[in-house]
Amino acid sequence: MLKGMDPRLSPEVLYLLARMGHGDSVAVVDANYPAYSMGVPVLRMDGLDAAQAVEVITSVMPLDRFVEHPVRYMVDKPGEPLREAARAVMEAAEKAEGRTIDGGGLERMAFYDEGRKTQGIIVTAETRSYGDFLLTKGTWPEFDPD
């Protein structure tokens, strides 16, 4: 156990996040995502839904301020309203960052293509539909490009 560290962060997840550089991405996915066929490391955060996992991850990992969408999520069709899981994840990310986050939707196959480019995939116990997210790491201490 580490002081000041959320105990839901496993050593493996901490290692993955610490190895990432700014601009690298990690996927946080639902229980139905084909994670093991993506060809990148797979870690698990069983017992947490996607929003809880993002809350824990963003407690130690800053989100990128230089990209248009530091949080991207799977959608059925471009421009559709946010689904329940996406709303919860965006709220968790904004709370952790203390700022408004502009999320972006990716159609399923495009999301899978991007998932293959991540530093790792974290599988959660999320069961709500389209509970799949890509988080882009920023820098710390924060550098505001504006």
Give me the catalytic one of 8, 22, 87, 128: 22
Would residue 69 show up in a list of annotated catalytic residues for this protein? no
Rounded to an integer, what is the distance from CA 73 to the centroid of its chain?
Answer: 9
Rounded to an integer, what is the distance from CA 70 to the centroid of its chain?
Answer: 9
Closest CA to 40 of 104, 107, 113, 108: 113
Write the CB contacts of 74 (distance below 8 Å, at least 6 apart in sequence): 105, 106, 107, 108, 111, 130, 131, 132, 133
Grouping H, G, I as helix, E, B as strand and the rest as coil, residue 114 is helix
R_g over Cα of the chain: 14
Residues identified as active-site: 22
